[in-house]
Amino acid sequence: MATNSESNLNSAVNVSELIAQNKKKKSINNYMEKLVPTILFLLASITVLTTIGILYTLISQAVHFFMEVPILDFFTGTELKPLSQNPEFGILPLLNGTIISSLVAILVAGPIGIMSAIYLSEYASDRVRRILKPLLEVLAGIPTIVYGFFAFTFVTPLIRSIWPQVEATNILSPGIVMGVMIIPMIASLSEDAMTSVPNGMREGSLAMGTTKLETTIKVVIPAAFSGIMASFVLAISRAIGETMIVTIASGSSKNFTFDLTQSMQTMTAYIVEVSGGEAPAGSTLHYSLYAVALTLFVFTMIMNLLAKYISRKFREEY
């Protein structure tokens, strides 16, 4: 009894302290409630800073380049001789190499990717799909340097044994390997687009007596067309920005040609070559790096926005 009343007494004495403590806790909580969102907002704005950083870096340095090389010469010049006595900085050889390698890639990945998507979404059973899809996605997780090694040490010799005119570094082999790299991207995004076509449409078509193939080609693909197109555009953008495969396997000749058997350089490979080399800071060569990177950035940005626009604009609502 005595202890009880004592503790009662104690707590009675301490009530005012407890209230003070509680108030303090509350004010700390209130403080946290205001502080935390601010900190988190600052963290989220780092991504915006990154974008600003990229734009600032590319533009501020590229400006120096365009003060020395007229912008028109840069975009229409067919000669790229950055290291010669009278250096010439035409980007067309690089654009050419970039576009050709990406075209080869999409010619490989487009048909194979979309046919894989058709199989996975229309024909495969659930069990088969659950096994095949993650396996296919392993391809997307392989580092590009490994693909570069594969293109250079396996695919190129293979092509040359069939077609001897092909040079040791050429644009065909990295193009094909890049195609393999982007297959999972097209397959997966197109499959998503096709799976989201409502079953009622398929069943309606099948009920008219069509085969699965006819339903797929005449009903499912048209309905999923925007998604499929978007996946193509995204895949091309990925191929344009890909670096290590082309750096290793397509060589560094700045050829302005359409001959697939020849060595060509892409925009990304040029950046690797020049930044890894001995371009003295402040030289035109050094600044050319940023002009090329800016072009690359604008190219991929346009493709990415285009993909988003296509999938939003032409999305069919069911």
Partner 1 sequence: MEKLEVLHNNNKINARVRKNSIWKSIFFLSTLFGLVVLVVLITRVLFQGLSWIDMDFITGRLSTNADIAGIMGAILGTVWVMLVVIPVTLIIGVGSAIYLELYSKKGIIQSFIETNISNLAGVPSIVYGLLGLTVFVRLMDFGNVVLAGGLTLALLVLPILIVSAQEALRAVPGHLPEASYGMGATKWQTIRRIILPAAIPSILTGSILSLSRAIGETAPLTVLGIPALLIPFPNGIFDTFTALPMQIYYWTIDASLVAEYANLAAATIIVLLLILFILNSVAIFIRNKYQQRY
Q: What residues from 14 to 33 belong to the interface with partner 1 (CB under 8 A)?
A: 29, 32-33
Distance CA 99, CA 264 (A): 11
89 binds partner 1 (CB under 8 A): no
In this structure, how many other beta carbons lie within 10 angstroms of the beta carbon of residue 308? 13
Which residue's CB is nearer to partner 1, number 226 or number 266?
Answer: 266
Q: Which of 195, 196, 243, 284 binds partner 1 (CB under 8 A)?
A: 243
Which residue's CB is nearer to partner 1, number 9 or number 115?
Answer: 115
317 binds partner 1 (CB under 8 A): no
Least Å from the CB of residue 310 to partner 1: 14
Q: What residues from 276 to 305 belong to the interface with partner 1 (CB under 8 A)?
A: 276, 281, 289-290, 293, 296-297, 300-301, 303-305
Least Å from the CB of residue 250 to partner 1: 12
53 binds partner 1 (CB under 8 A): yes
Q: What residues from 151 to 210 belong to the interface with partner 1 (CB under 8 A)?
A: 152-154, 180, 183-184, 187
Distance CA 224, CA 318 (A): 11
Segment contacting partner 1 by CB under 8 A, of 5-13, 71-79, 237-245, 257-265: 237-245
Least Å from the CB of residue 69 to partner 1: 18
Least Å from the CB of residue 305 to partner 1: 8
Q: Which residues contact 181 (CB under 8 A, 6 or more apart)?
A: 105, 109, 139, 140, 142, 144, 147, 238, 242, 245
Q: Which of 171, 194, 224, 248 binds partner 1 (CB under 8 A)?
A: 248
End-to-end CA distance of the chain: 76
- The pattern of x and - marking residues 97 through 136 that bind partner 1 according to CB under 8 A reads --------------xx--xx-xxx-xxx-------x--xx
Segment contacting partner 1 by CB under 8 A, of 77-85, 89-97, 212-220, 256-264: 212-220
**Phi/psi at 89 (5° precision):** -125, 75
Which residue's CB is nearer to partner 1, number 76 or number 275?
Answer: 275
Least Å from the CB of residue 12 to partner 1: 25
Least Å from the CB of residue 116 to partner 1: 4
Determine the size of the site formed for partner 1 (CB under 8 A): 83
In this structure, how many other beta carbons lie within 10 angstroms of the beta carbon of residue 222? 13
